[in-house]
Amino acid sequence: MSKLHISYNQIHKLISATVDKYQFVENFKPDLIVAIGGGGFIPARILRTFLKSASDRKNIPIQAIGLNLYEELPTHQDSDEEGVPEKPGQVVQKTQWLNFGGSDSLVSLLGRRILIVDEVDDTRKTLAYAVDELRKDIIKQEELRGMKPGESNTQIGIFVIHNKNKEKLGVLPEDVMAHYYPAANMDDVWLVYPWDAIDIDTHTEKAENKQ
């Protein structure tokens, strides 16, 4: 599978341009970011900078969840190659989730405009899983408050740096797709992100040369 290196600068500028392009501070008005780790953490933090600057409001809180689908492919032991493509596993593994519901609850989801952030939408399995689980939590919280499902009018939107143009294995509900904001739409190549680089200078050079 061919690869494309992406630099920190390219990511930063893409995120900035996307906030302007979709005007989603005005259109979606996110008030809670849920970052899918590990790849969603750095984009979420950069995005928060531009959301704050566009809305002139205080920082939007970022909550973290951990989901894992991809497995490393075996490489030669003496290989020092970076950014080796991985293959998707069968099921998404939940390694970390939101803390809510009990008396020690940290996050109320009800009535929020939740923006899920990840770096890449590939097969879409991870995003579909995240939305599904989040919706279950919203319904649980509504039940706890004696509300019917959907009564709290909690909204979910999605921001990704890269969406790959390909057949998707995961399906997102229509109301979520209405607030789906990819910074860039890409061919189906393996994207090598700067946080996976061992040698960041070589990585950045390749990214600048569109390699």
Ligand X SMILES: Nc1nc2[nH]cnc2c(=O)[nH]1
Q: Residues interacting with ligand PRP, by CB under 6 A? A: 36-39, 67-70, 88, 118-126
Q: How far is the CB of 197 from ligand PRP (least distance, A)?
A: 14
Q: How far is the CB of 148 from ligand PRP (least distance, A)?
A: 31
Q: Of residues 122, 132, 175, 187, which has the active-site annotation?
A: 122
Q: Does the protein bind ligand X through residue 22 (CB under 6 A)? A: no
Binding residue for ligand X (CB under 6 A) from 120, 128, 130, 158?
120
Q: Does the protein bind ligand X through residue 41 (CB under 6 A)? A: no
Q: Is 122 a catalytic residue?
A: yes
Contacts of 2-5 with C-beta under 8 Å, sequence gap 24+, read 2/189, 2/190, 3/83, 3/85, 3/189, 3/190, 3/191, 3/192, 3/211, 4/186, 4/189, 4/190, 4/191, 4/192, 4/210, 4/211, 5/83, 5/192, 5/203, 5/204, 5/206, 5/207, 5/211
Joined together, the tokens standing for residue 102 give 């009990």
Q: Which is nearer to ligand X, 6 or 109 (CB)?
A: 6
Q: Does the protein bind ligand X through residue 191 (CB under 6 A)? A: yes
Binding residue for ligand X (CB under 6 A) from 22, 129, 181, 193?
193
190 binds, among ligand PRP, ligand X, none (CB under 5 to 8 A by kind): ligand X
Q: Are strands 3-5 and 62-72 parallel, antiparallel or unpaired?
A: unpaired
Q: Is 23 left (phi over 0), alpha (psi -120 to 50) or beta?
A: left
Where do contacts with ligand X occur on this chain (CB under 6 A)?
70, 120, 122, 190-191, 193
